[in-house]
Amino acid sequence: MAPRFPIADLANVHLQVPDIAKAVTFYTQVWGLLEAHRADDVVYLRGSGSDPYLVALQQGTHTAVISVGLRADPTADLAELRNRIVEAGGMAQDIGACSTFGGGTGFGYRDHRGRLFTIVQDDTLLDPIEDGQHRPRRLAHVNINCSDVEADLTFYQQGLGFEITDRTKIMSFVRTNDDHHVIVLATDTVDTLNHIAFLQDTLEDVMLASGKVVDAGYPVAWGPGRHGPGDNVFNYFLDPFGIVIEHTAEILKVDDTYKIGGPDDWVWPPGRTDHWGVGHAKGDDCKNAQRAIPFI
């Protein structure tokens, strides 16, 4: 039987950066990832979970997203999934062996705005690490800005089998497992990266990991706080290249009883942008950075 969700989870992001040595230092020494592999000028960084890598870094002239990687359910029919993506308007490559760390089988596709996504199935997972260092466990979600959010929402549902969990005035949340969201679509006029969220095991880990980032000289860009949709705690930073990255934890688990929310369900009192109201407010630097990073 075909799985309910052909995509099991978010797996990785491939980033192009103008100074790969600086990026590796930041994401390992400050953000808590570990170098898993180096090959063909790509540095693969893992978290404490079983994903072979969460971030792949490549040297380039400017900061950009090369691709966002999704992992297919092991029982999903990849050819069927590829057809579905093409029918929904995606430009898909042929299915084949993946040359990225972890291997597996898969294919890439560009969405209707030309953004590259990859799908991997049966990649080789790693043993989790329990070293008490508050390392990100896995990716929690990727938030992308969409100049035609209705078209993107349709694509995620028809092409990939995602389901909507909530919509606010600006954000549309979609899931592909029992996490409240794995991809977030931000209504905008550009088709860029909004931010990448890394899942910590607990709120305490979010705070302790964030303290290390602050110690290294990177101020909090927004937070700490607790979001509305998804109920996850958050703390946002800008990496050395202006990419907005988030520590998060306690993402809401949902099932079919979850009442899908709309914009009227998610209105904050004046002056508030989260449940707690105690964190560093989001400044223009963060707002601008959340629109600035293009896809290649």
Residue 235 CB, nearest approach to Fe ion (Å): 10
Residue 81 CB, nearest approach to Fe ion (Å): 26
Q: From the centroid of its chain, how far is CA 175?
A: 12
The residue at minimum Cβ distance from Fe ion is: 197
| CA dist., res. 142 & res. 10, Å (int) | 8
Q: 82 vs 137, which CB is nearer to Fe ion?
A: 137
Task: Evaluate whether 137 touches 199 at the Cβ level (below 8 Å).
Answer: yes
Task: Report residue 64: phi and psi, to 5°.
Answer: -160, 160
Q: 174 vs 197, which CB is nearer to Fe ion?
A: 197
Q: 197 vs 209, which CB is nearer to Fe ion?
A: 197
Residue 177 CB, nearest approach to Fe ion (Å): 17
Residues that bind Fe ion (CB under 5 A): 197, 246
Q: 35 vs 201, which CB is nearer to Fe ion?
A: 201
Pairing of strands 116-121, 64-72: parallel
* Number of other CB atoms surrounding residue 267 within 10 Å: 10
Residue 260 CB, nearest approach to Fe ion (Å): 19
Residue 294 CB, nearest approach to Fe ion (Å): 19
Q: 116 vs 249, which CB is nearer to Fe ion?
A: 249
Query: Tokens for 108?
Result: 């890439």
Question: Which amino acid makes up residue 46?
Answer: R
Q: 106 vs 136, which CB is nearer to Fe ion?
A: 136
In the chain, which ranges are E strands?
A: 7-17, 34-39, 42-46, 55-59, 64-72, 91-92, 96-97, 105-110, 116-121, 138-146, 163-167, 171-175, 183-187, 193-199, 222-226, 233-238, 244-249
Start-end of H helices in the chain: 20-25, 78-87, 149-160, 203-215, 284-292
Residue 197 CB, nearest approach to Fe ion (Å): 4
